[in-house]
Homo-oligomer: A and B are copies of this chain.
Amino acid sequence: MKSFDPAVFLEDGCGKDMHQFIAELYPICRSITGEGIRETFRSIQRHIPLSIFDVPSGTQVFDWTVPREWNIRDAYVANQQGVRIIDFKQSNLHVVSYSVHVRARMSLRELKEHLFTIPDHPDWIPYRTSYYKESWGFCLTHRQYEDLRDEEYDVVIDSSLTDGHLSYAEYYMPGETSDEVLISCHACHPSLCNDNLSGIAVATYLAKLLQAQSRRYSYRFLFLPVTIGAITWLALNMQNVAKIKHGFVMTGVGDEGAFTYKRTRRGNAEIDAVFAHVLQHFGNSYELTDFIPYGYDERQFGSPGFNLPVGCFMRRANGRYPEYHTSADNLHFVKPASLARSLEVVHSVIGVLESNRRYLNATPYCEPQLGKRGLYRTIGGTVTGLSAEMALLWVLNLSDGTHTLLQVAERAGLPFSTIKLAADALAAQGLLRPAETSPGT
């Protein structure tokens, strides 16, 4: 496992490291099953101690069945001169994921029924799948499509669809309590950088950061094939989901768009308030959107039987940018600086969750005399002036056991970090004590 120093990492351009990690993962042909996703997990294992779980094809998971495993070695369409004019070796997006084995000669007319392009973006290859209906197809640029001559073509897809396994990966990092924070990324898309490699990279590096610090919560990082992977994980872990106190799905965090946080189904979970607060004070533009039962795996975590407090953190949301699910979602589309800023956001979110306690004012009748304790207009040498004084007064005033520090920060209109410093300073003077020992709302 690679050595890692969080302080150096945060000072350095962590964005470059994450971008480099994405570049390593980019060429792999991933799908919801098969060798590609397992190879991806092995790459992540070089950073964090991931456990890989293999679930046999045919396993019943709620209303679904784990599908057969798909693997592919080669695929192409060759013209009469034997020239490969569509070639899987050049881009794994050229083959519709889960295409069945094909070896045939056919006319252009027959072939065209299996071809997919994006006429509006004639240089981009679309990304297509056919997981649950046996079928085959090629994706190509619209320029390639228009150049096809009316002749016979050799069509080869050297793939297999056989009983095997669905694989997912999990990294559980224990903390002081067994209450969990869940962070879930899908890992089944082939050569697409923002959706999904950016989520994988930022989650991996977040895990590295958290390893190096003390933790009130336990953390569970999931890397899953989308939909069926989340369903499988939930089916196999039903007895443990009550431990999940907060969570978020993360993907699409490498582009240069504004941040998007999509609230949990509950809409008023602590994680919703934390993301709203962190994004408000972060300085970048952002959007908060309500839960809808469409998108990524928050759909499954938020199904009515579970109703888990799991939101979704993205930059531009799925389908809201033209590069989405095309070959243009490549290594140029994701930026080191964007990845670094996204990591900062989620690291700040975890920071708030870890510190978001309720306190009791130890001198609840009238204000304590801050002046004689040297607390006025200076807290720990860091925040000074009026904000610091107001933070002290707000923490004292609202520490009645019903307000979390985040609620104090929101009512005071101050950043959580300022309120936290005030609470620490007051606690050090014995003016404040924790109202409870276990986290969670």
A191 to B306, CA, bound (A): 62
Give the oligomeric copy count: 3
Residues of B within 8 A of A389 (CB): 294
Tell me the smallest distance from the CB of A265 to a CB of chain B, in Å: 7
Q: Size of chain A's interface in residues, with CB distance under 8 A?
A: 44
Q: Given contacts A132-B371, A365-B62, A368-B63, are A390 and B294 in contact (CB under 8 A)?
A: yes
List chain A positions with a Cβ less than 8 A from chain B: 61-64, 132-133, 227, 230-231, 234-235, 238, 265, 292-294, 299-300, 302-307, 361, 363-369, 371-372, 389-390, 393-394, 396-400, 412
Q: B390–A305 contact, CB under 8 A?
A: no
Contact of B364 with A305 in the complex, beta carbons under 8 Å: yes
Residue in contact with A63 in the complex, picked from B305, B306, B366, B390, CB distance below 8 Å: B366
Is the beta-carbon distance between B371 and A306 smaller than 8 angstroms? no
Given contacts A304-B399, A400-B304, contact A365 B238 (CB under 8 A): yes
Contact (Cβ within 8 A) B393 A304: no
Given A372-B132, A397-B293, do A367 and B304 touch, yes or no (CB 8 Å)?
A: no
Whether the pair A303, B365 counts as a contact (CB closer than 8 A) is yes
A397 contacts B62, C-beta separation under 8 Å: no
Q: Which residues of B contact A366 (CB under 8 A)?
A: 61-64, 230-231, 234-235, 300, 303, 305-306
Evaluate whether A63 and B361 lie within 8 angstroms (CB atoms) in the complex, with A293-B393, A390-B294 already known: no
* Separation of A302 and B371 alpha carbons in the complex (Å): 20
Please indicate the chain B residues that have their CB under 8 angstroms from the CB of A305 in the complex: 361, 364-366
Q: Which of A238, A300, A305 has the most chain B CB atoms inside 10 A of its CB?
A: A305
Q: Is the CB of A369 within 8 A of B304?
A: no
User: Is B390 in contact with A292, judged by CB distance below 8 angstroms?
Assistant: yes
> Please, which residue of chain B has its CB at the minimum distance from the CB of A234?
B366
A7 to chain B, nearest CB (A): 37
Chain B residues with CB below 8 A from A265, complex form: 397
**Residues of B contacting A369 in the complex (Cβ-Cβ under 8 angstroms):** 63-64, 132
Task: List 6 A-B residue pairs with CB atoms under 8 Å apart, sorted by A's residue number.
Answer: A132-B369, A132-B372, A234-B365, A293-B397, A299-B397, A303-B367
Nearest chain B CB to A191 CB, angstrom units:
25
5 other contacts beyond A235-B365, A300-B367, A305-B366, with CB at 8 A cut-off?
Answer: A234-B365, A293-B396, A294-B390, A304-B397, A305-B365
Instruction: Determine whether the beta carbon of B363 is less than 8 Å from that of A62.
Output: yes
Bound-state Cα–Cα, A371 to B400, Å? 52
Contacts of A62 in B (CB 8 A): 363, 365-366, 368
Shortest Cβ distance from A233 into B: residue: B366
Q: Give the residue name and chain of the B residue nearest to A395 (CB).
A: B293
Chain B neighbourhood of A364, CB < 8 A: 303-305
Partner of A306, one of B227, B293, B365, B394: B365
**Of listed A63, A396, A412, residue having the most chain B CB within 10 A:** A63
Contacts of A133 in B (CB 8 A): 371
Q: Which of A231, A304, A400 has the most CB of B within 10 A?
A: A304
- A61 to B393, alpha carbons, bound, how many Å? 19
Contact B365–A397 (Cβ < 8 Å): no
* Among all A-B residue pairs, the 10 with the closest Cβ atoms: A305-B364, A293-B397, A305-B365, A304-B400, A293-B393, A63-B368, A231-B366, A300-B366, A304-B364, A63-B363
